[in-house]
Structure 1
C-alpha cells in the first residue's frame, strides 16, 4: 500500500509521480469517455418562457395579513394557470401564511414581488398525504416539501420576495428524533424494498425539504430570498435544464444545504449569495444499492460568480453512488466563514465514480481545510469503493487553512488519482499536505505558508 504524508509549510511546487498500477487500482469507469465542454452545456441550458398571462393571487381570495390561510388561494391559482395553458402567478407585497404545501403545475411561474413573504405552518398534518420524494439519497414517500413540483415542465420561482420555512423552533427539533426512520430508510434502500412500500410521514421524523423539484424539466429559480428551512433548501431531484440565478440565502438550521442537484443534469447556478448552516452547493447522486442500480449520474453542473458562506462551499457527496461528473466551479468568492472550500467525500458503501471536476479562479478566506478529498468518509462502509479521479484545481487563493491546505485520502484498493493543483496559494496552514492512498497528485506553482527566497550563503 503506497502512502504519502507531507506536513510543514513553505512549499512552492511539488509533484507526486504515478506509482505502478497495483491490484485494486484498475478504474471502475471509462476514463476515455468524451464529455461535453462547458460551452456545450451552457448552450443547452435555456430558461423557460411563459405566456403573457398574469394570475393575481388576491383574485383567488388570498389574505396578505399573515393570519389567514392561503393554501386554497395558491391551489386555485395553480388550477387556473393549468386550465389556461400557463402563465404567471403574482404574489403582491404582504405576509402570506400557508397551512400546507404549494404544489406546482406545468407552464407556471410563481412570482413574489418585493415585500412579499410566504411562510409555512409547522403542523405536520398539513403536509399529508405523503408524496413521492427522497431523503438523504433514498427514494421514498414522506411529508410533502413545502414548495413541490413533480413531473412538471416549464416552471419558475422568481422575484425579490421571501420564502420562509419558519422551522428553527419547530421542524428543526425533529433532527434529534430522526435516527430510527433514517436507518429504516437505508435498510429499505439496501434491501431493494419496493418504492410503494417505503411509506414514512406520520409516525416518522424525516423533515421535509423547503423546495423540491422532482423529475422536472426546464426550470428557473431567480432572485428570491430563502430562509429558515426545515431540511435542504432547494433540492433538484432528477431534473434537467435548470437555471438558478441571483438567489439569496439566510438558512442556518441543521442540514440547511443551499442547493442540492441529485440525479440531475445541465444545471447552471450563478450569482447566488449563500449564507447557510450547511453546504452551499451539495452535488449528489443517490446512495448505496439504489444509487448504484439507478446508474443515473449527476453531470454537467456549472457554478459561477457566487458568494460562498456557510459550512462548506462546494461539496460532492456523500450520497453519490450513481456518480458525479463534469462539474465546473469558477469565479467564486468566500463572503464569510467556510469550513472547507472544496469537499469531495464518499465511502465504501457508495461505489460509483467522481470525475472531471474543475475548480477555477476561487478566493477563500479563513477555512479549516482548503481542499479535502476522501473516499473513506466517516471511516465506515465496505464493499463498494468509489473511483475518484481527474480533479483540476487552478487559480485559487486562500488566506489561511487552520487545519490543512490540501488533503487527499484514497482507499488502499482504489487510490484517488490524477488530481492537479495549479497556481494555488494558501498563505498559512497548520498542515500543508496529507496525501494517503493517492497517486499522480500533481502540483505546479503551489505555495503554502509563504514562498521561499533564494538559498542563503553557507557560513
Structure 2
C-alpha cells in the first residue's frame, strides 16, 4: 500500500481553515482537468484542487438556546414554533448558533434552516410521527423527480452558509410513525410513486406535481436544496423515514464525522444529487440501502434539470449499509463525473451491519436513465463478508429499458482487499453500450465462492488482481 498523507494531514489548512464567508459557484469548465471525458495520467491529482474549494462556513459566536424561545425538552411538548422562532431570530441578527442543549429530548415537526445559521445539536431532536407536522408542502426532489411534497424533517432552500453540528442526535423515529406502512404492500406510496414518475416523464409542470396531505411519498430526513456552503458534522442521525442526508443542487458541501443509522427501507446514508465539490469524510453508515449514493435526477425529469454531480470525494468512511458502499445511480440522468473514494472499510468487525452489505462498489444505470457515469476512482478499500459482488457495474439496472445510451466509463479500482463474497468482479454491460475503460489493479480477493462474471467490457484491464490466491487475467 502506498505511503501517502492521512485524512487529517491531507485536509490542509487551506481546505478546512476559517475562510471567506461565501464562495462562488464552481464552474467545471474553467478547469480543463475537471471536464468530463478529459483523460489524465493520474485522476487523483485533481483531488487537492477539489478539497481546496470545499471550505466550511463560519458563523458569528452568538448563541440562541431554543429554551429561551419556549422549547421544552421533555420528549412530549411539541417545539416546532419555538425552534422556528430561534432560527428566525438568529438569521435576522446576522447569524450564529441555534443550540439544542444537552440532556433534553425536544420533539418537533419540520425544521427550516436559514442562511448563516448553525443548528447546534447537543441534545436530541425528536421528530414527530404525525405527517401533518411536515406541512405546508415544499419544493423537493423525490427519488430524482421534482415535486411539491411533505417537508423533509430538516430543510433549506436557496440558503447560504448553514450547518447542522454537535454531538447530539437527530432521531427521525422512522420505524415508529406511519412511514413504513406507506411503502409496504397495500400502502399508498407505490401509486403516488408511479404518478410522480408519469408526471416527470410527460413533463407536467413542477407546480402541478402536488403531493403532501392525502398522499404517501415519504419525506427525506435532511435536505438542503439549491444551497451553498453546507456543513454537517459530528451528529448522529437515526431512523429516517427514507433517504437520510440529501443535498440537492448544492455547491461546497462538507459532511464530516457523522453516524447514520436507519432500519427502514430506502434509508440511504448520503445522496449528493446534482452537487459539485462535496467531501464526505470520517462517517459511519448502518443503513438499509446504499451508504453513499451519488445521484443526478431520474429519467426525463433528470434530463430536464440537466445538472450533473461532480467532484465528490469520500474518505475514511465505514459502510455497513445493506446495498452499496460507494454507489452511483440509479437516478443519474444528469450525469456523474469525477467521483473519488478511498480508505473505506466495509462491514468491519467493530461496526457490523444487521445484514451483510452487498456491494462495496456499485455503479447502476440503464437505457431508461441515460446520462453518463464517467470517472469513478476507488482505492484502498478493505472489507469482509458481503452477500454479493465486490465490484458491481451494471447498465441493466432493474431491467428497465429506454431510448438513451447507458454509459459507464473510466472506472478504476485499486488496492482493494476483501475477504468473503460471491464474486470479486461482476460487470454486467450491454452489447449496444459496452463499458468504457475499466481498470482494476493491485487487488486481493479471498473467500470468493464464484468466478468473475464479465459481459460487454472490452476495455477491461486487470493488473495484479488475485482471486482466492491466483492471479486473474481478462
Q: Same fold (TM over 0.5)?
A: yes
Q: Tell me if structure 2 keeps the 8 A contact 1:119–1:166.
A: yes
**1:363-442 pair list within 5 angstroms:** 363-367=382-386, 368-401=388-421, 403-442=422-461
Structure 1: gaps spanning 5 or more residues: 1-28, 453-459
Query: Which one has a bigger Cα radius of gyration?
Result: 1
d(CA) in 1 for partners of 2:223 and 2:39? 31
Whether 1:189 and 2:200 are equivalent positions in the alignment is yes
Secondary structure of 1:432's aligned partner? coil
- Cα deviations by residue, 1:39-63 (Å, 9 ceiling, x for unpaired): 1100100000001111111111110
- Cα deviations by residue, 1:361-392 (Å, 9 ceiling, x for unpaired): 01011112101000011222221122110000
Residue of structure 2 equivalent to 1:137:
144
**TM-fit CA distance, 1:33:** 6.8
d(CA) in 1 for partners of 2:243 and 2:414? 30
Equivalent pairs counted in the alignment come to 422
- Cα deviations by residue, 1:239-269 (Å, 9 ceiling, x for unpaired): 1100000001221111110000001010000
- Displaced runs of 4 or more, over 4 A: 33-36
d(CA) in 1 for partners of 2:37 and 2:79? 52
Residue of structure 2 equivalent to 1:20:
none
d(CA) in 2 for partners of 1:68 and 1:81? 22
Query: 2:329 pairs with 292, 302, 317, which one?
Result: 317
More strand by share: 1
Structure 2: gaps spanning 5 or more residues: 1-34
- Cα deviations by residue, 1:61-92 (Å, 9 ceiling, x for unpaired): 11011121111111000110111010101111
Whether 1:281 and 2:300 are equivalent positions in the alignment is no
Residue of structure 2 equivalent to 1:308:
319
Residue of structure 1 equivalent to 2:253:
242
d(CA) in 1 for partners of 2:165 and 2:39? 37
Residue of structure 2 equivalent to 1:175:
183
Query: 1:343 pairs with 362, 372, 377, which one?
Result: 362
With normalisation by structure 1, the TM-score equals 0.89
Q: Tell me if structure 1 keeps the 8 A contact 2:155–2:222.
A: yes
Q: Bigger relative contact order, structure 1 or 2, given CA contacts below 8 A and separation 6+?
A: 1
**1:11-410 pair list within 5 angstroms:** 31-32=37-38, 37-113=46-122, 116-170=123-177, 171-176=179-184, 177=187, 178-311=189-322, 312-334=324-346, 335=348, 336=352, 337-367=356-386, 368-401=388-421, 403-410=422-429
Q: Aligned-pair RMSD on alpha carbons?
A: 1.6
**TM-fit CA distance, 1:294:** 2.2
